[in-house]
Structure 1
Amino acid sequence: MKIDYLTLFPEMFDGVLNHSILKRAQEKGMLDVNTVNFRHFAENKHNQVDDYPFGGGQGMVLKPEPVFNAMDSIEHTEDTRVILMCPQGRPFSQQIAQELSESEHLVFICGHYEGYDERIREHLVTDEISMGDYVLTGGELPAMVMTDAVVRLLPGVLGNQQSHEDDSFQDGLLEFPQYTRPRNYKDMGVPDVLLSGNHAHIETWRHEQKILRTFEKRPDLLESYTLTDKDKDIIERYKNQLKKD
């Protein structure tokens, strides 16, 4: 996968891209990253990238020329996904991460100031994505978060393909509880089923835990998840137990 970042602060990406999974993905040749400072593509002697909005108003707006020129400077095709980090966009999710992980080339446009000239949105962008219902100073941090979420889904990046298949949200549910050594710690033990060696029972327990944990912490996710009759029984038994307690 190739990823280009159009940004005014390319140095912000150094720490994230040069450590852990993202660094190893580059070393394995699975990821090629490039930062482009679009200030270098401004068409005025002061390298100005923003200006006052037509019609008046507060703040400054990113000019179209630097961003269009920066986009022209990188190789891209009709299949390139050009992502505008924007609070008006689709809320980012695991499903979007999976979708983007199937692309060969991503471009993140990281803005600042009050907003973008609308012509950037209309003529360059294929996807508008938001990290949530809040506003950040710029698009660099969301681009880094999305990069981490997307790249870890590329085949071979994590080493064990199963690693991300059990993640929260991957199948619409939250992840089941995890335990490791020591078996007993400060009188706190590990569920017996995980020590039984019976893989069928373990898988059943883990699925039940995913259903219950999602019901407890994120019941909204169950609205779009198809519950089986067994799943519904799991929830009903849990509700009845709560009433007894």
Structure 2
Amino acid sequence: MIRRVAGPYAQNGFSVGFDWGPVGAEVVAGDIVAVVDVLSFTTAVTVAADLGIAVYPYQWRDQSAVAYAERWSAKLAVGRSEARPGDVSLSPVTIRNSQGVNRLVLPSPNGSTIAKQLSDGGATVIAVSLRNRRAAADWVREQGPDQRVVAIAAGERWSDGSLRPAVEDLWGAGGFLSALDQDGLSPEARAAVAAYDAVADELPKLLHECAGGRELTQYGYPEDVAIAAEVDQSTSVPVLEDGTMFRST
């Protein structure tokens, strides 16, 4: 049972909604919720799904994550800056280059945390990026016409912990909702679609030029941005099962 929140922020009366971060995910409830964290959690999840790797989202990269990975007999992703040859991290290129990995614990304070929060609330949670936005929309339509669909852009964090809306997540959410091609969009969802449609023909270039893309490139990960810009190249739709594991449909 999905808990419906009353009040002006819940986007009630619309079959398709959009909002930002953990708080938005709490307020704007959906039967099916697409979590969008383009740089890089949900892109990493789709790359793993393409390879048949099950992803176990986890909030923190600490000793508890080590125990969690041991519990599921999974490989624990290390921090980007800690990765050595053969290691797997949140960097999608390391997942694509991995060998012999079947299960992966992927810590992420944004996308991973939101996915677990939503699953605990009873929603069906899918991981959406620019890579699989169309495949995800097709899958959602197959679930039937009576589902309320919400896209949650994960965003990033400023140094003081406040939400930094990340334009790449707005584009990813809007791209998914644009491909959904469904009536009943809230004004917020319509704004996300408009943001995507305005840049769709320029996305590989603009993804590199936006703040998130420039940040990753500056830190030495331009390949991760290039993978995130593989629009519609993945047919995988990772669904969070039992609040524990993303597995592709």
> Is the pair's TM-score, using the shorter chain for normalization, greater than 0.5?
no
What TM-score results when the alignment is normalised by the length of structure 2? Answer: 0.26
Larger relative CO (CA 8 A, sep 6+): 1 or 2? 2
Q: Which has the larger radius of gyration?
A: 1
What TM-score results when the alignment is normalised by the length of structure 1? Answer: 0.27
